Structure 1
Amino acid sequence: MMKSKIPSEEVAVKLNEWYKLIRAFKADESDQLKREIERELEDMEENQDLLLYFSLMEFRHRIMLDKLKPVKDSGSQPPFSEMLNDIEMNQQKLTGLLEYYFYYFRGMYEFKQKNFISAISHYKQAEEKLEYVEDDIEKAEFLFKVAEVYYHMKQTYFSMSYASQALDIYTKYELYGTRRVQCEFVIAGNLTDVYHHEKALEHLRSALHHAQLLEEDYMIAAAHYNLGHCMYSLGNFAKAAGYFEKAAAIFEEHNFQQVIQAIFSLTHIYFKEEKYSKAKESYHRGMKSASEWSDDIYETKFRLLNELYLEKGDQAVLDALFDKLESKQLLADTEELVLDAADHFNKKENYQSAAYFYRKLANIKKRLQSSDCYNV
């Protein structure tokens, strides 16, 4: 007797449930349901739209896992590029909500690759399809992601607007505690950028409290890191270093890639405080970690610190390293480090080099403030 086919509507319901688990960062439950859906797809009646939906959700699932638990050995999983190629081959068949998902998820991928201009370009195309989205949480997810990339591009008020809208939605749903914490991070980061440090600290202390209630190691470490960043902006290097060290220890213990960022911030402080013995130790620790994770951006940033503070401070070498960061559209990161270089040379009474980097800083500030830079 021939086995009856599973109705595609039943599988569609499970795909929607799977997406809810992905959005809520429920990695184990998400994996389990994914395997169940894969089995049912083999016995499902033919439905090409649903198969495309599955491909998009599988891609989104991988982004979630990589964000929550990035691993060095991902050989058991197909590479992102391969998954993207498979989806893009069928892009012309995507309409309505599926087209929204395509641009939205592609924007997330570009953000993950630190291609911020490309990320915004895809998010804008997704926003044009937002009318097809009826679910509140899906809208909040989109708003948060746009806020996140605008924050990294130092478009403060755009970022604040999107993050605040997202937080208003997330606070209505108990399941999305992790996202509430992340919204607090983005809002606090923007407040720090415009020197509202006390308000930023309120959001960050709230974020740490909620992260501890959630018992999520990654979020706890991230809260410590962001508190360190705020203290650094206040000039309280001792407290900042304490927070960065706590963050680095947790990230390192649980094998999170963000350990590189925490070590870099710690190294930067040690150099600025002229604690060269600690700085060298932290520098080598960071370079080792960046190499293990194949993170060429942080390798570049570590080399910048090393050239500026330990080597000759050669202008040509520094320029080449800054150019590499700028080529990745990392203008905000470049701005901070160029200011550091200018101040360092000024302190050393090398006024020619100081003047050169102050001029470079002014040019970067103009580019950051220019909306033309982000018209994509």
Structure 2
Amino acid sequence: YHIAETRLRNVPDDLERAEFNYQLSIAYYEIAQNHFSINHAKKALESFKSADLQESRVATTLMVIASNKMDLTQFEQAESTFKDAINLAAESNIDLTQALGYFNLGICYERQGKLQQALECLQNVLSVELRKPHKTLYMRTNYMLARVLFQLDQKAEGLESYNESLKLANELSDNAYIAKLNIIHSIYITGDEAQLDATLNALKNQNLWTDAAELSIMAARFYKKQDNHKLASKYFDDGLESQAKKLSWMEEIE
């Protein structure tokens, strides 16, 4: 990207510059450099807004900004920006972007414990009529639906979403999501500590430290509510260890 940036000076096309900044914002987001990501996304957004017929790129760039705000726990700004992206996509009949907006807004609500609002957003994802079936989005949405429904103690409905997501994860050979599905099943349905530990380790072996930390802490909170202080302490510690590993891993990338 740095090499490309030096050569971009010779490119007169404003949209090419916007596309470069958009892709760079995603790259920075992936390595948790949120402020750099927002900066490049805002540059891209300015150019996309000034160009005709760029509604799709404006909406997806807004979602990159909102995702960064969410990771920075600036939830009110994240919610507002996700809604802007959803409204623009709906007005422009960009179905996949609209569905992705609802998906990400659902995650934003779930992170804040606004489970009913998260549930409504995730159900909206499945209600958007996509021009093409999108197995990956359906898999991820059903996974998040299962998470939310299990937390709402709606186990029967949660299992339906879990089974649908697991079927798609197997079809796509997505080992990360198979592990994540097994984790929430172990926490909320079977209470299988050995299976929970094995699948958390599967995420760690793939360097998926963010997911490992998030799901460990989810397990800890569940066991805390059950007054199982031994397991709650174990998984809180496990979550903190995964967060530390994530920071170390990011430093190695940089």
Residue aligning to 1:230: 108
Superposition deviation, residue 269 in structure 1: 0.5
Find out whether 1:169 has 2:47 as its counterpart: yes
After TM superposition, give the deviation of residue 174 of structure 1 in Å: 1.9
Aligned amino acid, residue 141 of structure 2? A
CA apart distance, 1:243: 0.8
Amino acid at match of 2:99: A
Note the 1:147-296 alignment, pairs <5 A.
147-250=25-128, 254-256=132-134, 257-296=136-175
Deviations along 1:153-203, one digit per CA (max 9) or x if unpaired, are 333222212212221221111222111101111111111222222212221
Q: CA RMSD in A?
A: 2.2
Give, in whole Å, the separation in 2 of the partners of 1:214 and 1:288: 32
Paired residue for 1:336?
214
Distance across 2 between alignment mates of 1:301 and 1:234: 20
CA shift for structure 1 position 124: 4.9
Among 336, 358, 372, the residue aligned to 2:236: 358
SS at match of 2:50: coil
What corresponds to 1:142 in structure 2? 20
1:323-372 Cα offsets, whole Å, 9 max, x none, are 32233332222221111011112222222222222112212222334451
Cα offsets for 1:12-65 (capped at 9, x unmatched) = xxxxxxxxxxxxxxxxxxxxxxxxxxxxxxxxxxxxxxxxxxxxxxxxxxxxxx
Q: Is the 8 A contact 2:96 2:130 kept in 1?
A: no
TM-score by length of 1: 0.62
Rounded Cα–Cα distance in structure 2 between residues aligned with 1:283 and 1:369: 30
- Equivalent position of 1:49 in the other structure: none
Q: Which residue of 2 aligns with 1:318?
A: 196
Q: Which amino acid in 1 is paired with 2:87?
A: H
* Partners of 1:251 and 1:258 within 8 A in 2: no
Report the TM-score when normalising by structure 2: 0.89
Name the residue aligned to 1:374.
253
Asked if 2 retains the 8 angstrom alpha-carbon contact of 1:154 and 1:332, the reply is: no
The sequence identity of aligned pairs, in percent, is 26
2:227 to 332, 343, 349: 349
Residues 122 and 141, structure 2, Cα contact 8 Å, conserved in 1: yes
- Tell which structure's C-alpha radius of gyration is larger: 1
How many angstroms does 1:129 deviate by? 4.7
Distance between the aligned counterparts of 2:133 and 2:72, measured in 1? 33
Q: What residue ranges of structure 2 are gaps of 5+ in the alignment?
A: none
Q: Residue 177 of structure 2 aligns with which residue?
A: 298
Unaligned ranges ≥5, structure 1: 1-122
The number of equivalent residue pairs is: 252
Q: Single out whichever of 353-362 and 123-132 deviates more from structure 2.
A: 123-132
User: Aligned partner of 1:219: which letter?
Assistant: T
